[in-house]
Amino acid sequence: MPMLDLARFPRLPLLTQPTPIEPLDGLTRHLGDTLNGVRIFVKRDDVAGIGLGGNKLRKLEYLLGAARAEGADTVVTVGAIQSNHARLTAAASAQAGLACELFLTRSVPRQDPDYTGNGNRLLDDVFGATVHELPGDADSLAAAEARAAELRGQGRRVYTFPSGGSSPTGCLGYANCAAEILSQADQLGLSFAQIITANGSAGTHAGFVAGLAAMGLDTTLAKSFAVLAEDARARAEVLEKANATLALIGSERRVSPQDINLDGTHRGSGYGIPTDGMLEAVRLMARTEGKLLDPVYSGKAFAGLLHDVRAGLYPAGSSVLFLMTGGTPGLFAYKEALAG
Ligand SMILES: Cc1ncc(COP(=O)(O)O)c(C=O)c1O
């Protein structure tokens, strides 16, 4: 069994691990032969301990671990108005006793109250974060760094991290998760043909790639569906973050463009803009499994997986694993698209 030892990195536990791996029996019964004999499993990173959960908690375990090790009293991060990362940073900071400031850009062209005030944005306030809203084209990271400098001038100890928590330190969470999945698959007697995730800020995919590479495995086992950046940019980001994470881990392995398995064909017309495939995926998962995808990330990624399975990309009898990344508060910001 390949091993990955990340014990030397400070970590603040935020979710019970390993998270479960479950078969989608209800969905399989419903879709029958159209799945071409492929078994779809889900990894439940959405059933997490605090703040309604989601993939950002694994990154925040290492980010807030590092913040605490550096003696920080405040964290500052960035995202879109409906950022799941921002909401979970607010929740985890509350639990850790850290002040939290969020710089949120209006990058999705919507001004209706569901989007601007419900879902994640509402929870940011409930968790007690200080929120700064910026225009869609603003450089939020620069604004966050400027604020961090200001707070440091007032004697505060500030730890900042980028969108999605996708710094090399944050990516450790999914390098660790790659090892966790392999060990669970071994125990379950399963061999996954593919591990699939949504890709926004690239850190989840990059963490998987770094973990697999550090364990000497084929990194194309992990595949992402890009929902934010255009394909070339998303691929470059995964590559850069995976190699930076490998360097942080102390591995000598490096990855190249052909090691990154990425598909951008289910993004639709843009980040945060609904697609028919996303709507079908969200409803199908809800109505056959009682499980929730989200409208911005996992809904589009699961639509991509369903497309691939229906198109016969995986041989009959193979098993694929879909990472449930949470993001359910986002559903409340998409009432109009999802109603009915
Ligand atoms: C619910 C959800 N799924 C998937 C992702 C994608 O993760 P990453 O930003 O690491 O690519 C995000 C965040 O961007 C998310 O909030």
pLDDT at residue 31 is higher than 80:
yes
Residues 105 and 183 in one domain: no
Angle at 214 between CA 212 and CA 215, to 5 degrees: 65
Please state whether beta strands 192-199 and 319-324 pair in parallel, antiparallel, or not at all (unpaired). Answer: parallel
21-23: strand order across its sheet: 21-23, 39-44, 319-324, 192-199, 222-226, 261-263
> How many other CB atoms are found less than 10 A from the CB of residue 152?
12
Q: Output the ligand 1 site: residues, CB below 6 A.
A: 54-55, 84-85, 164, 166, 198-204, 294, 297-298, 325-327
> How many other CB atoms are found less than 10 A from the CB of residue 339?
6
Q: Of 142, 164, 186, which one is at a domain's C-terminal end?
A: 164
Q: Of 134, 164, 194, which one is at a domain's C-terminal end?
A: 164
Residues 154 and 274 in one domain: no
Q: Provide the domain limits for residue 267.
A: 21-53+167-338
Distance separating alpha carbons of residues 264 and 238, to the nearest angstrom? 13
What pLDDT, in 10s, does the model give residues 86-139? 999 999 999 999 999 999 999 999 999 999 999 999 999 999 999 999 999 999
Is 83 a catalytic site residue?
yes
Distance 44 CA to ligand 1 centre (A): 14
At residue 78 the predicted structure's pLDDT band, cuts being 50, 70 and 90, is very high
Mean pLDDT of 150-165: 98
Distance 165 CA to ligand 1 centre (A): 9
Residues 44 and 90 in one domain: no
